[in-house]
Amino acid sequence: MKVLIIEDEPALRASIQQYLEHQGYICELAADFKQAMDKVNEFEYDCIVADIGLPLGSGLDVVKELKLLESKAGIIIISAKDSLEDKLSGLELGADDYLTKPFHLSELTARINAILRRKNFDGNTTIIFFEITVKPASKTVLVHDKSITLTGKEYQLLLYFIANQHRVVTKSALAGHLWGDAYDQAGSYDFIYTHIKNLRKKMLEAGGEDYIKTVYGTGYRFG
C-alpha cells in the first residue's frame, strides 16, 4: 500500500512516516504544494494524507487536482484548523476523511485502513489476522471459522487493534476513537477496560489466542 504524506512540518511528517512504515505501508513525502502536485501527477497512490495549510498553496487544491485526474486514491485531510468550513469543503471536494491536529497516529492509521478497505474492494474484503477473520461488509467476526457476536464498540475496537497491530495504543486514543469529541465527558477511561475484557473473553471462548496485551498500564498492544 502506497501512501503520500503531504505535510510541511518535517517532524510531524517523519512521525507519520515512521508509524505508517512500521504498519507495512510504503510512504512517500511531499513538503509543499509544488512537490505534492508533482508527485500526484506522476505517481499512483492508494492513499493521500494532506495538510491544508501548505507553503505555495492549499491542500484543498491538491484534492481538486486528484479529482481532476480521476485518482482512485483515498484522501485524508489533516488540518490545524478545526474549522467546519474547511472540513465541509474538504469532504465536498472529494476527501474521504478529515482529522484535526493534534491526532493520534493510531487513529490516523485506523482511518487510512478503513478508507483503503472501502476504496479498493468496495467493502467486500476480509481482514485476516491469524485465526481471526473480519468481514466488514456484514460486520461479522470469525475465530477459527466460528462466528462470534460482538457489540458495536467491541467490533470497532477489534478493527482498531488490527489496524495498529503490534503497536501500543493508549487508552485515550481508544476512547477518542470510540466516543469522538464526546470522550471529554467520560470522566475516566476505566470503562474501556470493560470492553477490552469482554472482547478478549469472547475471542478466548472461541478458541482464539489472547492477542490483547496490557502494557504497564499505559495502554494495550494487539498481537
Write out the residues near other proteins by the rule CB under 8 A.
Answer: 9, 11-12, 15-16, 18-19, 22, 80-82, 84, 100-106, 153, 167-168, 170, 172-173, 179-182, 184-188, 190-191, 194-195, 215-219
Q: Dihedrals φ, ψ of 58, to 5°?
A: -110, 145
Find the shortest distance in angstroms from Cβ 192 to other proteins: 9
Amino acid identity, position 178? L
Find the shortest distance in angstroms from Cβ 155 to other proteins: 14
User: Which of 133, 198 has the CB closer to other proteins?
Assistant: 198
Q: 78 is written with which cell numbers?
A: 489533516
Q: Let me know the angle formed at the C-alpha of 202 by 119 and 19, rounded to the nearest 5 degrees.
A: 45
C-alpha to C-alpha distance for 181 and 28, rounded to whole angstroms: 31
Find the shortest distance in angstroms from Cβ 142 to other proteins: 25
User: Which of 81, 201 has the CB closer to other proteins?
Assistant: 81
Find the shortest distance in angstroms from Cβ 204 to other proteins: 21
User: Which of 42, 188 has the CB closer to other proteins?
Assistant: 188
Strand 47-51's sheet: what is its strand order? 26-30, 2-6, 47-51, 74-79, 97-100
Find the shortest distance in angstroms from Cβ 169 to other proteins: 9
User: Which of 149, 185 has the CB closer to other proteins?
Assistant: 185
Distances in Å between the alpha carbon of 40 and those of 53, 105, 129, 193?
Answer: 17, 23, 32, 42
- Tell me whether residue 152 is exposed, middle or buried, using C-beta atoms within 10 angstroms of its C-beta: 0 to 12, 13 to 18, 19 or more: exposed
User: Which of 19, 45 has the CB closer to other proteins?
Assistant: 19
Task: Write out the H or E segment, with its range, that includes residue 127.
Answer: strand 127-129
Distances in Å between the alpha carbon of 154 and those of 8, 29, 36, 37?
Answer: 36, 34, 38, 40
User: Which of 56, 215 has the CB closer to other proteins?
Assistant: 215
Find the shortest distance in angstroms from Cβ 212 to other proteins: 16
C-alpha to C-alpha distance for 162 and 178, rounded to whole angstroms: 15
